[in-house]
Amino acid sequence: MPYKVFLVEDEIVTREGIRDNVNWGADGFQFCGEAPDGEIALSLLETARPDVLITDIRMPFMDGLQLSRIVRERMPGVKIVILSGHDEFEYAQAAIKLGVAEYLLKPVSVQDMYGVLRRMAAQIEREQKDQADLRSLQAQIEQSRAALRESLLLKLVMGTISAAEAIEQGQALGADLIARWYLVALVQLRRGEGGPPSREQCRLIEEIVTDVAGSNPDVFLLKKNAAEMVLILKGHVPEYLQEESSYLLSQIRRRAQEAGCEPTIGVGAPKPHLRDLYHSFVEALTAIQSRRSGRVPEGEASAERTELLKADKVAVDQFLRYGSKEEVDGFLANFVRPLSASAQHSPLLKNYLLMNIVVAAAQFVHELGGDIAQIVPDLAAVEEMLAVIQAVDEIRAPARRILLAALAFRDSHLNEPYAAMMRQVKQYLARNYNDPNLSLQEVARQINLSPNHFSMVFGQEAGTTFKSYLTEIRIAKAKELLRTTTLRPSEISVEVGYNDPHYFSYVFRKHTGLTPTEFRAQPQAG
């Protein structure tokens, strides 16, 4: 596409000479218009939209400087070439300050004009390439942000990310997750007699859901698979979430039916914590499965059952840390035994129980640096497992596969059975070493071991006593503060967990052979 040139010159001979003697098409240009002064040119420029403006600097009514200033504001992408005589140096200086691209002295030769046009063409091409590169980069960044955002939402509904991590990552990705209550809804296309939904139907339901809910800042969308969308709603009042989800889902259902699609919709109950979002997801899944089978959904679990389920998740986590492959079957038998006979056939409870195993295994593997895909490929795989299980007792087979996979990952990444525990303990001590009340008993309580058992395991794994290990951490931190701060030894004592400065000085000297003051006075290496 040729670049368009507009010429403004009050001297008709000069204007016609430039217009008629330049072979505009030779260098990829098109002469698109002319005017005898700036005032007339302005209205014509709006229509012509040139790439290059060539203007005389001194003209009646509106000179080239005034014209250039207005064009620079209204059409910043236009390249401006100024024509000037030898006695118009001050004008030329002003034009240069305006950011004109070129400055030509009259009389202008055809060769000079060709040279300017070639330079303008090269400059325009460079800028267009830069703009194209920028757009491409922005698109790549946006695609990356979208993928990261989807990954974050997936972790949320799977319960494999802490609330603090989710909120921090969400802020970086433009997703404000801070609220008092959260709810999950699922929109799923039904499998018809002719097989799964068509590609066109899947595209259509995604468009409908995005159009209805995508612009709402309190709704986050996750495409679970081609035929299913997850809606995560947030709000400060649970009643608002229920009303808003009901309104949005009714709009989605209506528009889908009008388009010839029949979606199945499931809604979970509002949850007061982001970390418990997956409970709402499980309830939404259960509602969908119940509708498919013709059963009436049970609704929310009772408080007693919910407490049981929470305890079960802790039990799974502890087993993954300290259990063995040989103990899997025994663990699973005990895992479902406390449930009553009536609860054995609860779709909600069997979904919760299996999801607790999935979530605990995924979180455990994540802590060890692995990926959830090493346990379960995706949400569709989880739903598939849940769909074929009719009773709680039937979760044993898929649960066994998940637990064995997690234990295999643990054993391949850890050489000792207590390595995961030691990692947890060391992280806890690194965060809390400055607590003067920190004790072996407190740490043992954090990892659900008796103090005697913990003391024995710690000594075996660390090669030293708990007290010695903690002291080493504190003394190392004290050394750092003595080298890098002007804090008094008594102040440093408190900073590293010793309320008694005299006892701190005694411990420091015992470990280093120097008092804190003597240590600080030593010359530092390097």
Helix, strand, coil share of the chain (percent; to 5)? 60, 10, 25
Q: What is the CATH number of domain 415-526?
A: 1.10.10.60
Token pair, residue 114, equals 């060709």
**By C-alpha distance, which of 327, 92, 291, 91 is closest to 186?**
291
C-alpha Rg value of the chain to the nearest Å: 36
SS3 of 108, please? coil
What pTM value is reported for the model? 0.48
Cβ atoms within 10 Å, residue 441: 12
SS3 of 378, please? coil
- The segments of the chain whose pLDDT lies below 50 read 295-311, 340, 342, 526
∠ at Cα 418 (417, 420), nearest 5°?
A: 105
SS3 of 449, please? coil
Phi-psi category of residue 323: left, alpha or beta, with phi > 0 → left and psi -120 to 50 → alpha: beta
Please enumerate in sequence order all residues whose Cβ is within 8 A of that of 194, keeping only pairs 6 or more positions apart, or say none.
Answer: none
Q: How many CA atoms lie within 13 A of 213 on its CB side?
A: 29
What CA–CA distance (Å, rounded) separates 456 from 70?
Answer: 82
Burial of 200 (0-12, 13-18, 19+ CB in 10 A): exposed
Contact (Cβ atoms closer than 8 angstroms) between residue 63 and residue 39 = no
Contact (Cβ atoms closer than 8 angstroms) between residue 209 and residue 229 = yes
Token pair, residue 245, equals 């989800």
Give the type of residue at 71: V
Burial of 249 (0-12, 13-18, 19+ CB in 10 A): buried
What CA–CA distance (Å, rounded) separates 185 from 201?
Answer: 19
pLDDT at 231: 92
CA dihedral 369, 373, 376, 378 (to 10 degrees): 140
Cβ atoms within 10 Å, residue 181: 21
Cβ atoms within 10 Å, residue 518: 12
Provide φ and ψ at 109, rounded to 5°: -85, 160
SS3 of 63, please? coil
Q: What is the CATH number of domain 3-128?
A: 3.40.50.2300
**By C-alpha distance, which of 263, 402, 278, 288 is closest to 347?**
288
pLDDT at 359: 77
What CA–CA distance (Å, rounded) separates 185 from 149?
Answer: 18
Q: At what angle do helices 303-322 and 328-336 cross, to 10 degrees?
A: 170
pLDDT at 93: 64
Contact (Cβ atoms closer than 8 angstroms) between residue 76 and residue 68 = no
- Rounded to the nearest angstrom, the gap between the alpha carbon of residue 331 and the centroid of all alpha carbons in its chain is 36
Please report which residue ranges of 438-465 form alpha helices under DSSP H.
Answer: 440-446, 451-462
What CA–CA distance (Å, rounded) separates 128 from 119?
Answer: 14
**By C-alpha distance, which of 80, 76, 84 is closest to 57?**
84
**Mean pLDDT in the chain?**
81
Contact (Cβ atoms closer than 8 angstroms) between residue 350 and residue 397 = no
Instruction: State the CATH architecture for 159-289.
Output: 2-Layer Sandwich (3.30)
Bridge partners of residue 219, in order along the sequence: 233
SS3 of 179, please? coil
Bridge partners of residue 189, in order along the sequence: 263
pLDDT at 53: 93
pLDDT at 88: 59
What CA–CA distance (Å, rounded) separates 304 from 302?
Answer: 5
pLDDT at 328: 86
**By C-alpha distance, which of 276, 112, 317 is closest to 182?**
276
- Rounded to the nearest angstrom, the gap between the alpha carbon of residue 162 and the centroid of all alpha carbons in its chain is 14
C-alpha dihedral sign at 398, 402, 403, 408: positive
What is the number of residues in the chain?
526
**By C-alpha distance, which of 353, 398, 348, 350 is closest to 377?**
398
What CA–CA distance (Å, rounded) separates 10 from 35?
Answer: 8
